[in-house]
Amino acid sequence: MYDVIIVGGGPAGLTAGIYAGRRALKTLILSRDIGGQASKAWDIENYPGYEKTSGADLCSKFFNQAKSFGAEVKFEEAKNISKKDDEFEVKTGSNAYQSKTIILASGKKPRELGVPGEEEFKGKGVSYCATCDGPFFKEKTIAVIGGGNSALDAALYCSKICSKIYLIYRGTSFPAEQFLADKVQAEEKIEVLLESEITIISGSQTVEKIELKSGKSLDVSGVIVEIGYVVDKSILENLVDLNEKGQIKTSNEQETSSLGVFAAGDITDAAYKQIVIAAGEGAKAALSAFDYIQKKEGKKGIVGDWEKKNK
């Protein structure tokens, strides 16, 4: 029996593991990988305390710190979460684990284009991670799809590897930070195609060509899709309340509609999706889980310094 099972190994889940471990909670982190979306960011300049770092390096530090405080990590994907009485059971593909509380921090999965050829060429030129697959396109021409921070970041990263990048976005201007937009415009290897949409991905064994809505055809060796992420609701429905976007509704203390279940990071209804915010929510979720367990066992919960002073 664990005190808390954390579903997800990104910044939110790992930070929750750090804080849960520091409170001496028996903690299990279940995740397919370490770092989630954050680990794919090659250049992070806005995480406090780091002028510049990579997502992989930052998440590695989160991971090692969580383990140093006693969090147990298993590389298994949660498939089902059920509640019986006041306890929870989390089933993975091969095991079942019991816990007093749950912290949902599984983040999101990449949104797909939904065009002919995308499914066929996944792993054969179609990618959803520039830092993972960019090196496979060394000295080749690729297309990056999207207009947000992640898309522009991916195009800039690939400009150091590829011979040419088409940055394709359906809008009239990028919704990304102006700082990134200026860097993209200054990069000679990147050709920006606004008000453009990809309609077909084709090739023989691997990606060779894409068609645009305008009728224009481009010869490319790869397509990197960066059009955002969506919540995987498969284990959430019938467990917690979701909003219209499929995100978990949470209180200021990261509580969900289900007693004993907390949520943190990009999977919640927080307006801003940033690593530092996910980490902060993970810390709050772990403290709230500790507080919940303490009070449930008839002990005193967390008392804030301001409460002590007022007494």
Kindly give the confidence (pLDDT) of every residue in the chain, 311 residues in length, as a single tens digit, with 9 standing for 90 and above: 999 999 999 999 999 999 999 999 999 999 988 988 788 776 788 899 999 898 889 999 999 999 999 999 999 999 999 998 889 999 998 899 999 999 999 988 888 999 999 999 998 999 988 877 888 899 999 999 999 998 999 999 999 999 999 999 999 999 999 999 999 999 999 999 999 999 999 999 999 999 999 999 999 999 999 998 888 888 898 899 999 988 999 999 999 999 999 999 999 999 888 999 999 999 999 999 999 999 999 998 887 666 655 44
DSSP β-bridge partners for residue 244 = none
C-alpha dihedral sign at 30, 32, 37, 39: positive
The span from the CA of 8 to the CA of 308, in Å, is 35
133 is catalytic: yes
Q: Strand 141-145 relative to strand 164-169: parallel, antiparallel, unpaired?
A: parallel
What are the φ/ψ torsions at residue 197 (nearest 5 degrees)? Answer: -135, 140
Closest CA to 277 of 56, 48, 103: 48
86 is catalytic: no
**Catalytic residue (choose from 33, 57, 132, 182):** 132
158 is catalytic: no
Name the superfamily (CATH) of residues 2-108+231-309: FAD/NAD(P)-binding domain (3.50.50.60)
Three-class DSSP category at 19: helix
CB 77 within 8 A of CB 32: yes
Please report the DSSP string for 30-97 in residue order.
Answer: E-SSSSGGGGG-S-B--STT-SSB-HHHHHHHHHHHHHHTT-EEE-----EEEEETTEEEEE-SS-EE
**Catalytic residue (choose from 3, 129, 232, 291):** 129
Record the tokens describing residue 203, joined without a space.
């090739």
CB 61 within 8 A of CB 279: no
Please report the DSSP string for 81-142 in residue order.
Answer: EEEETTEEEEE-SS-EEEEEEEEE----EEPP---TTTTTTBTTTEES-HHHHGGGGTTSEE
Place of tokens 């509380």: 101
The span from the CA of 234 to the CA of 105, in Å, is 14
- Where in the chain are the domains? 2-108+231-309, 110-225
Decide: residue 225, CB within 10 A, 0-12 exposed, 13-18 middle, 19+ buried: buried
Same CATH topology for 2-108+231-309 and 110-225: the answer is yes
**Catalytic residue (choose from 133, 153, 158, 266):** 133
CATH topology of domain 110-225: FAD/NAD(P)-binding domain (3.50.50)
